[in-house]
Amino acid sequence: AQSVTQLGSHVSVSEGALVLLRCNYSSSVPPYLFWYVQYPNQGLQLLLKYTTGATLVKGINGFEAEFKKSETSFHLTKPSAHMSDAAEYFCAVRTGAAGNKLTFGGGTRVLVKP
């Protein structure tokens, strides 16, 4: 069975500082990995995804993530936090060619301090 672990349910960063959100997964087959962001009272919005190819994936709003198979990780980063980045972030895994459901981590809530 696939699972996703997000280290840290809450992260506080200063505006302009590095944002680092950690995600580790377990999967018996090559994984497809996703990061979604959820703003208050809104639906989940896709930030970026890894399927195949380049392991460093760039997404919207300046975010990027790197797939590291040896570490079973897919950490999300942004060099400089903005106040508008305050939200909840979810890592998810989708398995193989037949997999049609997302398994999500518990989420990390990001607070940005001025």
Partner 1 sequence: GAGVSQTPSNKVTEKGKYVELRCDPISGHTALYWYRQSLGQGPEFLIYFQGTGAADDSGLPNDRFFAVRPEGSVSTLKIQRTERGDSAVYLCASSLGSSATDTQYFGPGTRLTVL
DSSP label at residue 31: E
Give me the residues that bind partner 1 (CB under 8 A), please: 4, 9, 32, 36, 41-46, 49, 51, 90, 92, 94-107
Q: Is the dihedral angle over the CA atoms 44, 97, 49, 13 positive or is it negative?
A: positive
58 vs 80, which CB is nearer to partner 1?
58
Beta carbon of residue 40, minimum distance to partner 1 (angstroms, whole number): 11
13 vs 37, which CB is nearer to partner 1?
37
From the list 60, 68, 9, 1, the residue with the least C-alpha distance to 33 is 68
56 vs 97, which CB is nearer to partner 1?
97
How far is the C-alpha of 77 from the C-alpha of 58, rounded, in Å? 10
